[in-house]
Structure 1
Amino acid sequence: MKAFRFKNFDIQQSEKVFRVGTDGVLLGALAQIEQARNVLEVGTGTGLISLMLAQRNPSAQFLGIDINEEAALLTRNNFEHSPFRSRLTNIHQDFKQFETDRKFDLIVSNPPYFEASDSSKDKIARQTVELNFLQLISRSVALLTGEGIFSVIIPYEAGESFTAVAEQSGLFMNRRVEIRGIQQSKPKRLILEFSLKERPLTKLDFTIEKSPRQYSDQYLELTKDFHVFKKA
């Protein structure tokens, strides 16, 4: 399968692993990485999000984890062939059984979000079969530092239930980004960020396209250090 080329690294892809997509790019570009030193990505897929975050913060150390062996191998390959290889490691493991004494300043995830079904397409990566919201949140709470941030991208419709579980687990929402696919449309995704400490809530509206197949100025500015855009 053809590699996806960014300005500073390439992402090798596989038919057996969820491919590079806008959700991952948005989380990689918007997650608050600036103050983080130890970062955990849950469900790495290709490793895209960690690679983007590593480019944004040259001091941070990264650990990726994925239950899918094919994804873990693909992540390792993409990490090892990147300019940030010395700061990136990953493991093949079930996050529900992941144990460590290490605490993380930032935990990021583009989690599975479709209810379980009979479909075999991207079954682990995109269905709540192996990791549901409660499991993801409760394990992340245990691994956060006192000042740490838990950052996810989920469908807009899942926002209310995800937030309820997070709050019941002792987290406070600090940031909410509503993402529209195109101007004037309904929000389709949410980036939600939580921490163990209550802070003022920051809200942001974000639009990907200003018209069909025409990226918005907001998206172009956000991703200018990553995407290789074709010249008009």
Structure 2
Amino acid sequence: MARNSFFKFKQFTINQDQCAMKVCTDACVLGAWADVENAERILDIGAGTGLLSLMIAQRSAAARIEAVELDTDAYAQAQENIANSPFKSGIAVLNAAIQEFSSDERYDCIVTNPPFFQSDLRSPDLKINQAHHSESLTFDDLLESVDRLLTANGKWNILLPVDEGIIFQELAGKAGWFLQRKLTLFHQKDKKPFRLVMVFSKLELVDNRVVNQDLLIYDEDGRTYHPEFQKLMKDYYLIF
């Protein structure tokens, strides 16, 4: 996906010139696929440009969404994008670290695309490091924050690279979370998977069967979008 200064969707536009984290395909998949069914109060951890909040608001018109963002420039950009959207009345953006964030009410759904690289080489750009690497939000911090902010029956959605996702799933299990659904992303057939989208809850599955799905971004030619990807993104992408 091209990293232009803005990305136009069917119902809103994402300006991203002030954000280290640009609009990317895997984040769009999270926004379109996340389990937000029947959620009335939703928390977006690490709002960035406001992309996830806006995508979810488009799907869940009645939900109240709060988005927390640590970086001041990204926070300002998320505010701008949301204020210029038709969904501004249902989304509030807060400039805070999730470790220090508190709320009078718990959320029944959480969505997050966290900084995920545990050991990759660092960028000379401090903002890129903060957006991509886990020092600002470790897995332990994230698990503690979700446990503190989610209702007992709530669900939460997370996007991670495959290796980090496997590690995180094990940590989440030890912390008492049960994997409910998992989507494995592939660029195309016969390529290695590159992202996992997972849904967790404290409620144990009755039949102990996790819903596993695969999603190909492209057909075998590597250029044509796969029909299932088109189906998922048709309400958002202008090209579909």
Q: Tell me if TM exceeds 0.5.
A: yes
Q: 1:177-231 CA deviation, whole Å, 9 max, x = no partner? A: 111111121111100110010124111111111132221001111000000007x
1-side partners of 2:103 and 2:18: how far apart? 31
2-side partners of 1:170 and 1:99: how far apart? 22
Q: 1:55 corresponds to which residue?
A: 58
By how many angstroms is 1:115 displaced?
Answer: 2.6
1-side partners of 2:26 and 2:140: how far apart? 21
2-side partners of 1:118 and 1:8: how far apart? 35
Structure 1 regions of 5+ residues with no counterpart?
none
Q: 1:99-129 CA deviation, whole Å, 9 max, x = no partner? A: 2222111111111111354413411110112
Letter in 2 for 1:120: P
1:138 and 2:141 aligned: no
Letter in 2 for 1:207: L
Letter in 2 for 1:175: R
Q: 1:217 corresponds to which residue?
A: 227
Q: 1:156 corresponds to which residue?
A: 162
1-side partners of 2:80 and 2:230: how far apart? 28
Q: 1:53-94 CA deviation, whole Å, 9 max, x = no partner? A: 000011111000011000111111111111011000011101
1:11 and 2:19 aligned: no
> SS of 2:176's equivalent?
coil
Q: 1:111 corresponds to which residue?
A: 114
8 A contact 1:181–1:188 mirrored in 2: yes
2-side partners of 1:130 and 1:159: how far apart? 18
Alignment of 1:33-112 (within 5 A): 33-112=36-115
TM-score normalised over the length of structure 1: 0.95
8 A contact 2:179–2:210 mirrored in 1: yes
Give the aligned length. Answer: 230
Choose the corresponding residue for 2:173, options 162, 167, 189. Answer: 167
Q: 2:210 corresponds to which residue?
A: 201
Q: 2:197 corresponds to which residue?
A: 191
TM-score normalised over the length of structure 2: 0.92
8 A contact 2:109–2:150 mirrored in 1: yes
| Structure 1 vs Structure 2 CA RMSD | 1.4
By how many angstroms is 1:15 displaced?
Answer: 4.6
Return 216-225 or 161-170, whichever deviates more: 161-170
2-side partners of 1:56 and 1:16: how far apart? 24
8 A contact 1:23–1:110 mirrored in 2: no
8 A contact 2:5–2:15 mirrored in 1: yes
1-side partners of 2:24 and 2:57: how far apart? 18
8 A contact 1:17–1:70 mirrored in 2: no
8 A contact 2:41–2:108 mirrored in 1: yes
By how many angstroms is 1:98 displaced?
Answer: 0.9
Choose the corresponding residue for 2:182, options 176, 181, 193. Answer: 176
Letter in 1 for 2:174: Q
1-side partners of 2:107 and 2:94: how far apart? 16
8 A contact 1:79–1:85 mirrored in 2: yes
